[in-house]
Structure 1
Amino acid sequence: MELRPGDVKGWCVADMVGKALRVLSLLGEYPDGVGLSELARRAGYPVSTTHRLLGSLQEQGFARSDPASKRYALGLRLFELGQRVSHARGFAGVALPVLRALTEQTGEPTLMAVLDGHQQVYVHSVQGPRQIQIRGEPGRRGPLHCTAMGKCLVAFAPDREALVETLELAGLAPRTITSRAEFAREIATVRSQGYAIADEEHEPGIRAVGVPVLGPDGHAIAALSTAAPAYRMSVAELEAFVPALREAARELGAVLPR
């Protein structure tokens, strides 16, 4: 059998894909992260090969590294993909019953997101009974500086100050906060009062109120929000939902994985 250059190249690509998937699977066994040498030993690959594979996985968001500990762990890209599959197949996680109960109280959509770098990733969305709905498709990303959940995620992030100083403050709507000083004041207010308002800052005609879901260390592990069209809901009416949002956040803080 004669081997053609294309055949050899295809086999090499398939081999590297297989190796990358093995590294990815092994990372799943280390929820708190693993060092490069240990991962290479488990995979049975040279350290240089493992490092190269991890670099490719990090570029695509499938892996992440902690500069301080120099340990590697799974990235949120896998979570995004898993959420898309979960949403498509109708799997109901521990959060969905809480979000559904909240929507029953408010009559408006309930959204949930987590922090990933300089963006938020929507993980759940429960629609209300109204004809016009605000949607947050699971797996999609959104900005932090101009959304209620994003502000909460920043205000209660362990690296809050760095985020305040480095986030891009793109003007996505006429009322978006684009001043660094004003954004810093806004985040301080959110942290002080424990909730955030986005008043037509992400999209014209859309208002939302959000609260953080806090872990034992006081850092946000997620955020919840109730969103509605501005013509239907005033800021004061949204703020009236804060007690219900906080109660849902407390319940989720007890059951969500850290």
Structure 2
Amino acid sequence: MPGPIQSLTRAAAVLRLLAGGERRLGLSEVAASLGLAKGTAHGILRTLQQEGFVEQDTVSGKYQLGAELLRLGNSYLDVHELRARALVWADDLARASGESVYIGVLHHKGVLIVHHVFRPDDSRQVLEVGAMHPLHSTALGKVLSAFDPVAHNEAMDVERTAFTHRTVVEADAFEKVLEDTRSRGWASDMEETWEGLASVAAPIHDRRRMPVGAVGLTGAVERVCEEGEVRSRLVASVRDAARSISRDLGSSPF
């Protein structure tokens, strides 16, 4: 197994050093604290500065953490805030529907499951937190692709795999699915990803009315669907959960 990359280890040490101090640090202080040559420390600081992770005070020449690191940190916190705000509503949705409930966010051209509530029965189930689901075939993925421009571009740019004979992979047909999703405010997956399973999902918005995730439920087709359509009560329940989570994140009523 390959060992750690020294330059990355040193860069991480520099960031930790700057994060742990109550004041800006000069080049000599950084080098001395980490046991590095001044030239090495300067090279690391210059690279981190170019990437926005470190800023240099123009008067003193000393260094502090940069805005880009803060932006990444806020992104991490946003996901955890979403999960924290969704906990109660996801539990309520699972209890009311009798099905498994998922919260997903866009990540690396897929849907990252950040929260999963088991179906409230005694069946054997596997926790899927941390799992990646496809954008183009799942209800969660379709919702993200329909409402998030970044997710839309990623879903259109990748090769869309046909997981079952029902999976929509052709570009124009998939675009029509997304148009329908935007029009009605929710998406479904009826055996498009897994045989025998159906899903319904709706978007979650933040205080800026930006789509930050999706909430959905999944269950056996015969329970989720009726006469080839998702049961209206389940659609209503999912949309209510999405609105409640969005409201808790500061989104205005919609």
TM bracket (short chain): 0.5 to 0.7
1:1-258 aligned at under 5 Å gives the runs: 16-17=8-9, 19-20=11-12, 22-23=14-15, 44=30, 45-46=41-42, 48=44, 51=47, 71=68, 73-74=71-72, 93-132=84-123, 137-159=128-150, 161-234=152-225, 235-256=228-249
Q: Alpha-carbon deviation of 1:181?
A: 0.8
Kept after mapping to 1: 8 A contact 2:188/2:198: yes
| CA separation of 1:141 and 1:196: change in aligned 2, threshold 3 A | same
Contiguous gaps of at least 5 residues in structure 1: 1-9, 28-37, 58-69, 84-91
Normalising by structure 1, we get a TM-score of 0.67
Letter in structure 2 aligned against 1:233: V
Q: Alpha-carbon deviation of 1:229?
A: 1.3
Q: Alpha-carbon deviation of 1:247?
A: 1.7
Q: Alpha-carbon deviation of 1:241?
A: 1.2
| CA separation of 1:134 and 1:118: change in aligned 2, threshold 3 A | farther
Q: Alpha-carbon deviation of 1:190?
A: 0.4
Q: Alpha-carbon deviation of 1:196?
A: 0.2
Structure 2 CA distance, aligned partners of 1:231 and 1:143?
23
Greater shift after overlay, 133-142 or 122-131?
Answer: 133-142
What's the CA shift string for 1:135-173, capped at 9, x where partnerless? 561122111100001100111103355235313311122
Kept after mapping to 2: 8 A contact 1:174/1:204: no
What's the CA shift string for 1:188-235, capped at 9, x where partnerless? 110111000101111111100000012244431110111101243315
Normalising by structure 2, we get a TM-score of 0.68
Structure 1 CA distance, aligned partners of 2:18 and 2:132?
26
Q: Alpha-carbon deviation of 1:250?
A: 1.5
Structure 2 CA distance, aligned partners of 1:50 and 1:138?
38
Kept after mapping to 2: 8 A contact 1:145/1:169: yes
**Percentage of identical aligned residues:** 23
Greater shift after overlay, 161-170 or 243-252?
Answer: 161-170
Letter in structure 2 aligned against 1:174: H
Kept after mapping to 1: 8 A contact 2:135/2:155: no
| CA separation of 1:78 and 1:51: change in aligned 2, threshold 3 A | farther
Letter in structure 1 aligned against 2:142: K
Letter in structure 2 aligned against 1:241: L
Letter in structure 2 aligned against 1:74: L
Letter in structure 2 aligned against 1:225: G
Kept after mapping to 1: 8 A contact 2:11/2:44: no
| Corresponding residue for residue 33 of structure 1 | none
Q: How many residues align?
A: 214
Q: Alpha-carbon deviation of 1:104?
A: 1.5
